[in-house]
Structure 1
Amino acid sequence: MVPNGWTLTSLGKLCDINPKKIKKPENGKVSFIAMNQLSEEGQLISHLPREYEEVSKGFTSFKDGDVLVAKITPCFENGKGALVHGLTNGVGFGSTEFHVLRAKENTSPEFIYYLTRTKELRVRGENNMQGSAGHRRVTSDYFNAYKVLTPPLPEQRKIAKILSIWDKAISTTERLIDNSKKQKKALMQQLLTGKKRLLDDSGKPFEGEWEEKRLSDLGNISSGGTPSTTKPEYWDGDINWVTPTNITKQDSIYIESTARLVSMDGIKNSSAKLLPKGTLLVCTRATIGEMAIASHEMSTNQGFKNIVPNENTNIEFVYYLLNFYKHKLISKASGSTFLELSKSAFEGLHFHIPKFQEQQKISAVLLNADQEIELLEQQLADLKQEKKALMQQLLTGKRRVKLDDKEVA
């Protein structure tokens, strides 16, 4: 159903698809944009200055206000594209794998841009790609014929303005996350090397040299195992069984659950072990140095070395310490088929360790930094979801915008 005052038309009626090459600016300076300078979130990351003669042949031309859309797989499906502004002399050239959409009169470039960000356009485009595997592309004919619901120009502008507010909030949150991660990295550099000492419970800075210890001094270290897959009774029990894939798929310091479960019989009849809550699970095969802390009793496969801390060890401190020195773990690995860190090599790794109370203080600061990042990442996910829902409503006319007299004029 076409909303009142809107029209159903083709994208080719609203914009020129791949228009003619732009003429040379007076000083011959233009911008150049490669595919990797467009983000999958639809943003222009950067552009480079070039001479017109360098790029005018064999590349795609565009100008300020044009919409770029990647045509080749998987860049198209992944969302590579941008509304370009701020080009040198307003002119740019770039990858031949771009389609260029230039808004016609009475069409908002920003509205066209948001149309290209819709899931429907991407899914239909993927289903209409042409070419051989690995080199499939969306054709210009697809864009020309693609049907869109279109409001009058003032409403196009208002819709784009509203969606741009969400984009700005998303960009701001992404910058906050990036800054928070940089600050955390700097904190780790200072706190885990002893360059910066925190205050103890009496309000005085911690003092004294850190003691050099082997990992085996921090607790009991064990490997994991895999129960026989020919014994159904060893599987689908109530004990989480961790594999490296479970670790690499999660962002949190603590692991809560896994895809596969084992039974107590499976544990007893294999080299797998029942590990207590608070065990640090460290991948020592293939994805060496990925790790998480068990939030309850768990077991692991043989791709791990697991640290059950003693009374002098704060396991969160060890988590951050080993993350910071991950390169040290990798350097001690060996193997021709795939890298693996042996139990003896793992136990023999040595680090400078503060006393328990200072470990606790350090881990508390870094946990707080992680919590701030997690909160911002959740806010970012919420903003993206809100924008997605809003786009679906605004670009289909299911939700209409109000225009004041100035916006109608």
Structure 2
Amino acid sequence: MPNGWEKHPVGKICSSIVPGRNKPKQFGGDIAWVTTPEITGKFIPSSVQENYISEETIKECGGKIVPKGAVVMAAVGDLGLIAITKEEVVLNQQLHAFVCSSKINNEFLAYWLGTQTPYMESVASKTTILYLNKTNCESIPVLVPPILEQQKIANILSTWDKAISTTERLIDNSTQQKKALMQQLLTGKKRLLDESGKPFDKKWERIELGKLLDYKQPTPYLVKSTDYSDEYPTPVLTAGKTFILGYTDEEFGIFSEDLPTIIFDDFTTASKFVDFPFKAKSSAMKMLVAKDGVSIKYIFEVMQALSYAIGGHQRHWISIFANIVIGLPCREEQQKITAVSNNADKEIELLEQQLADLQQEKKALMQVLLTGKKRVVV
């Protein structure tokens, strides 16, 4: 135990507010009715807050007002999800609130509780979904430094939070700017300059995607074992958000001869641009390869900009996507457009790396500051 620190269950240094069980019958008012999906950052109500209720409705449904500055945690499902109220709110029954005593700083407590997911999971009721009752919530142990040290620790971590939030906004802004610019370039509304410094003026061809791309079935490239390791050399890919499922040491059936390629999920229509050797996981994946005279990166950008609503569980490439007609400029203009896209991607990737570095730095700071391994000067 660090000198001058104490250890208490959170229920001893805070009072609890357990939400009412009834959902409001009507919405409309000026008090936020907060649910778990609406906790997206450090404070609530967040920018995605949907429902507000009146004091009259609160009384009718037996709700409880949680004061400004309370620490709110998820008690069902997403354990370790924490936020601080920036105004009076009402919580749904999947959340639990702590009102801090004079012994504990609310921001310090929020940071601490965010590290206690393993403990929460160990005491939670193991039903179809993890659940913490009031006793479980109040039992969470807290290492409590002197109040001035708590405030200093919270201030240091808040500095990292602000830097993280700023970087996230920069990523979002850069992504939106790229999207808007590509929309202009891919429709010909904005034309770039050719090598002579004049705007491209050749008329674009209208042509089906299937005439620009060949496709390969994944069967020869499917991974046989899911015994992945980060020490293995070859990535196993999916076209979905996960992208890299893991790494395999299988030496045969590696897709490497037609790079770069677009991997396309035939059911979800998700796609990724790939310029390195890989193996596939899903038999629903197709590898799309550009025919001569076509920039595969240009086609990828066009596909990313397509607006298509998926209907039913069916395969989409041959029956639908291959027949979609797109605008195709000359090869030189394709390359100019993809160069703009690549530059924008590099800027976004740099920001994403900065974000990852900040998040790692904050994690390392929390490990030493919240445990007293490194003491701050008050």
Global fold match (TM > 0.5):
yes
Q: Deviations over 1:61-88 (max 9, x none)?
A: 2111100111011x22xx3221111x2x
Q: Secondary structure at the match of 2:288?
A: strand
Q: Deviations over 1:137-186 (max 9, x none)?
A: 11222333332221111111101111111111111111111111111211
Deviation at 1:258, TM superposition (A): 5.6
Superposed counterparts of 1:5-404, under 5 Å: 5-18=4-17, 30-39=31-40, 41-44=41-44, 45-46=46-47, 47=49, 49-56=52-59, 57-73=61-77, 75-76=78-79, 79-85=80-86, 87=87, 91-118=88-115, 121-130=116-125, 132-134=127-129, 136-226=130-220, 245=238, 248-250=241-243, 259=248, 261=250, 263=252, 275-284=257-266, 286-296=267-277, 302-325=283-306, 327=308, 338-343=313-318, 346-403=321-378
> TM-score, normalising length from structure 1?
0.78
Residues in 2 aligned to 1:154 and 1:229: alpha-carbon distance in whole angstroms: 56
Give the equivalent residue in structure 1 for 2:23.
none
Deviation at 1:341, TM superposition (A): 2.6
Which stretches in structure 1 are left out of the alignment for 5+ residues? 22-27, 231-237, 268-272, 404-409
User: Compared with structure 1, are the counterparts of its residues 278 and 67 closer, same or farther at alpha carbon in structure 2 (3 Å cutoff)?
Assistant: same
**Structure with more of its chain in helix, by fraction:** 1
Residues in 2 aligned to 1:378 and 1:394: alpha-carbon distance in whole angstroms: 24
Residues in 1 aligned to 2:166 and 2:222: alpha-carbon distance in whole angstroms: 51
1:366 is matched by which residue type in structure 2?
S
Q: Secondary structure at the match of 2:131?
A: coil
Contact 2:19 2:90 survives alignment (8 Å): no
Residues in 1 aligned to 2:110 and 2:222: alpha-carbon distance in whole angstroms: 54
User: Compared with structure 1, are the counterparts of its residues 65 and 304 closer, same or farther at alpha carbon in structure 2 (3 Å cutoff)?
Assistant: closer
Residues in 2 aligned to 1:20 and 1:214: alpha-carbon distance in whole angstroms: 57
Deviation at 1:226, TM superposition (A): 4.2
Q: Secondary structure at the match of 2:89?
A: strand
Residues in 1 aligned to 2:329 and 2:222: alpha-carbon distance in whole angstroms: 42
Deviation at 1:401, TM superposition (A): 0.6
Q: Secondary structure at the match of 1:102?
A: strand
Deviation at 1:303, TM superposition (A): 2.8
Task: Give the share of equivalent positions with the same residue, in percent.
Answer: 35
Residues in 2 aligned to 1:62 and 1:389: alpha-carbon distance in whole angstroms: 32
Contact 1:278 1:296 survives alignment (8 Å): no
1:276 is matched by which residue type in structure 2?
D
Question: Which 10-residue stretch deviates more, 349-358 or 301-310?
Answer: 301-310
Deviation at 1:308, TM superposition (A): 3.0
User: Compared with structure 1, are the counterparts of its residues 346 and 239 closer, same or farther at alpha carbon in structure 2 (3 Å cutoff)?
Assistant: farther
Give the equivalent residue in structure 2 for 1:24.
none
Give the equivalent residue in structure 2 for 1:270.
none
| RMSD (CA atoms) | 3.2
Deviation at 1:55, TM superposition (A): 1.8
Contact 1:283 1:305 survives alignment (8 Å): yes
Deviation at 1:10, TM superposition (A): 2.4
Deviation at 1:310, TM superposition (A): 3.5
Residues in 2 aligned to 1:131 and 1:224: alpha-carbon distance in whole angstroms: 40
Q: Secondary structure at the match of 1:398?
A: coil
Q: Secondary structure at the match of 2:125?
A: coil
Contact 2:4 2:145 survives alignment (8 Å): yes
